[in-house]
Amino acid sequence: MPRFFAPLLLLCLTTLNAHADSYITRLLNKPVPGGVAVVDLGSAAQAPTATYQGKPVLVVKEQNNWLAIVGVPLSVKPGSQQISSGGRNLPFTVGNKKYPEQHITLKNTQQVNPNPANLKRIEGELAEQIKAYRSFSPTTPSNLLLDKPVNGPLSSKFGVRRFFNGEERNPHAGLDFAVPAGTPIKTPAAGKVILTGNYFFNGNTVFVDHGQGFISMFCHMSKIDVKVGDQLARGAVVGKVGSTGRATGPHMHWNISLNDARVDPAIFIGAFQP
């Protein structure tokens, strides 16, 4: 190898290793369906923007590098994907992940096959919630390593294929914690309350925007202690655990959304399992 190439090669390897071993990459880069991809955007004086599937993506700075934190929908097939930033298409690879099944029996058959009146209600509620999930504020999240909203064991993991009374419905889009009714639920990062409501499936629900499309949703609550527009510090109480909506008993259900993709909250609390 020519002598002048050696320092250049060493510099390139050092730069690559610095990104590969970065704290954010080690913490969040779980590029599977329902996971998160961390994509290097390079260094720049101003924060770059990025989109994935036409939706804006969370961008943060680590040391001198900008990183895109991309939510990968559960519907994405393993293989090559790309984001767009500054006129460039930047690729990443989505790996495989197999999710288990869960069979649940509900006495209230309306929560499996709703009648026309309930379907109309559900459609309106879904539109409200989709609008909240697609919120994108310029605020940089206060923290990416999140606190657990409650302390307790997991009772249902993210991504589980769910069968209600033998009929398959949407996969489980969050984490469930087995904790008693009345347990305070705390926001895992600072944020703004962007939606509250009592919904057919979710029961009492709160959406908190942590910044740049990074959204927490809590549901099945017995009580809501915040209102739309409230600015919350990390650890602020948003409400109390309950069993409202489609729930078989008290528990805390927590969703995380990035760029309107529901992703595994376990990634953000260091509990992800490949």
Would you state the pLDDT for residue 118?
82
Which CATH topology does 101-269 take? Glucose Permease (Domain IIA) (2.70.70)
Using CA atoms, how far apart are residues 73 and 207, in angstroms rounded to an integer?
19
What pLDDT shows up at residue 14? 34
Tokens of residue 102, six digits: 């869960």
Q: How far apart are CA 33 and CA 30, in angstroms?
A: 9
In tens, the pLDDT along 197-252 reads 999 989 999 999 999 999 999 999 999 999 999 999 999 999 999 999 988 889 99
Q: Which residues contact 77 (CB under 8 A, 6 or more apart)?
A: 33, 94
Give start-end residues of each CATH 2.60.40.1590 domain in the chain: 5-94
pLDDT at 216: 98
Q: Are 234 and 187 in contact (CB under 8 A)?
A: yes
Q: What pLDDT is recorded for position 109?
A: 63
Which residues does the chain have with pLDDT short of 50?
A: 1-19
Residue 175 Cα to chain centre, angstroms: 10
Per-residue pLDDT, 248 = 81
Select from 47, 112, 41, 121 the least CA-distant residue to 83: 41
* Structure confidence at residue 104 (pLDDT): 63
The model's pLDDT over 248-268, given as tens digits with 9 standing for 90+, comes to 889 999 999 999 999 999 999
**pLDDT at residue 112, as a whole number:** 62
Which strands sit side by side in the sheet containing 55-56, from one edge to the other? 55-56, 51-52, 79-85, 88-94
Considering the entire predicted model, what is its pTM?
A: 0.86
CATH of domain 5-94: 2.60.40.1590
Domain with CATH 2.70.70.10 in the chain: 101-269
